[in-house]
Amino acid sequence: MLERIGVRPGWRCLDLGCGAGGILELMAARAEPGGLVVGLDADAGLLQAARDWTHAHRAARTRFVLGDAYRTGLRPASFDLVHVRFVASTAGLAEPLLSEAISLARPGGVVAFQEPDTDALNCYPPHPAWTRLTTALYAAFRAVGGDTTLGQRLFALLRHAGLEDVAYRPFVVGVTSRDPMRDFLPATAESLRKTLVGRDIISDAELDRTLAECRAHLSQPETVFTTYLVAQVWGRTPGSPTCQVATLD
Ligand SMILES: C[S@@+](CC[C@H](N)C(=O)[O-])C[C@H]1O[C@@H](n2cnc3c(N)ncnc32)[C@H](O)[C@@H]1O
């Protein structure tokens, strides 16, 4: 996606809700030398992990901001690229987040969102334990205002927001019993145990039983699954694409 967008040396890039690193390193690899990459997140612990990760990977011109992605307080129109991945689908309120992202991009700059569509998260052959875990996870995301199928309406969302030349690049990944990602669904459900049990979506005992059944199914040599689809959607803010912001703070 970054290649297609054309991120190049000198670009100022912002990752809203960068978490423990997100794509900061990928952006830095393209924006250096001369560019700047800024990661913003509301979670100080994750931001520290991102700082450690990027320093270890020698992304020199990377800065970190502890803040609210929906109200950043950053200088408007000051970035060539504003990127947001998996924030609106988990924290909700996609429209205001998109508005903030657009306000931070320079005229002719790029706003890029990546969001999931869990309708594509399927196991073959199907299994009741897989279905139980996915259903429980979707209920947990809904309970906190998330939208696990946001990827389906992302293209329309960016177009309606006034972005131009909006591009759409969806992808899924196939996983077999021999792939490191085999445990993706059980591991995700396990990491959300507190939410799942605390909100009475599933009991501890049923979760334990379902995790064991699902893991047994996923370990079968002929079982495969597709990950959730990730919709990559990006577009340009109205304005002159030649208006390059080159000065660095
Ligand atoms: C699912 S993670 C995605 C992290 C990263 N973008 C990635 O793709 O690896 C969602 C991130 O959004 C952050 N987040 C949620 N609400 C936020 C807000 N209002 N302001 C800033 N960050 C927020 C969380 O702290 C978390 O790091």
- Residue 24 CA to ligand 1 centre (angstroms): 13
DSSP 3-state percent helix, strand, coil across the chain (nearest 5): 40, 25, 35
Convert the pLDDT of each residue in 19-49 to its tens digit: 999 999 999 999 988 999 999 999 999 999 9
- Residue 66 CA to ligand 1 centre (angstroms): 11
Write the residue with the smallest CA distance to atom 12 of ligand 1.
Answer: 17
Predicted pLDDT of residue 144 = 86
CA distances from 168 to 22, 73, 80 (A): 20, 29, 19
Q: What value does the mean pLDDT take over residues 205-212?
A: 98
Q: How is residue 224 written in tokens?
A: 């495969």
Q: Domains of the chain (ranges plus CATH)? A: 68-236 (3.40.50.150)
Q: What value does the mean pLDDT take over residues 201-210?
A: 98
**Using CB atoms within 10 A of its CB, is residue 209 exposed (0-12), middle (13-18) or buried (19+)?**
middle
**Using CB atoms within 10 A of its CB, is residue 92 exposed (0-12), middle (13-18) or buried (19+)?**
middle
Query: Mean pLDDT over all residues of the chain?
Result: 93
- In this predicted structure, the answer to whether residue 165 has a pLDDT above a threshold of 90 is yes
Work out the pLDDT band at 246, boundaries 50, 70, 90.
very low
Work out the pLDDT band at 243, boundaries 50, 70, 90.
very low
Residue listed under structure tokens 């931001």? 47
Work out the pLDDT band at 53, boundaries 50, 70, 90.
confident
Write the residue with the smallest CA distance to atom 9 of ligand 1.
Answer: 22
pTM equals 0.91
Kindly provide the b/e burial profile for residues 39-60, where b requires at least 16 CB atoms within 10 angstroms of the residue's own CB.
Answer: bbbeeeebbeebbebbeeeebe
Q: What value does the mean pLDDT take over residues 163-174?
A: 97
137 three-state secondary structure = helix
Mutate to test the pocket of ligand 1, among 43, 82, 87 (most ligand atoms within 8 A of CB): 87
What span, in angstroms and rounded, lies between the C-alpha atoms of 40 and 38? Answer: 7
Mention every residue, 6+ apart, whose C-beta is less than 8 A from residue 169.
1, 4, 231, 232, 233
Predicted pLDDT of residue 92 = 85
DSSP state of 149: T
CA distances from 223 to 154, 158, 228 (A): 31, 37, 16
Work out the pLDDT band at 94, boundaries 50, 70, 90.
very high
Predicted pLDDT of residue 245 = 41
What span, in angstroms and rounded, lies between the C-alpha atoms of 178 and 194? Answer: 29
Rg (CA), the chain: 19
- In this predicted structure, the answer to whether residue 249 has a pLDDT above a threshold of 50 is no
Cα angle value 201/203/205 (rounded, 5°): 150
Predicted pLDDT of residue 59 = 59
Mutate to test the pocket of ligand 1, among 41, 48, 195 (most ligand atoms within 8 A of CB): 41
Work out the pLDDT band at 58, boundaries 50, 70, 90.
low
Q: What's phi and psi for 224, nearest 5 deg?
A: -135, 160
Q: How is residue 117 written in tokens?
A: 């569509």
Query: Which residues approach ligand 1 with their CB closer than 6 A?
Result: 17-19, 22, 41-43, 46, 68-70, 85-87, 90-91
Predicted pLDDT of residue 240 = 65
Write the residue with the smallest CA distance to atom 1 of ligand 1.
Answer: 86
- Residue 9 CA to ligand 1 centre (angstroms): 26
Classify residue 123 as left (phi > 0), alpha (psi -120 to 50) or beta: beta
Convert the pLDDT of each residue in 60-89 to its tens digit: 688 999 999 999 999 999 999 999 999 999
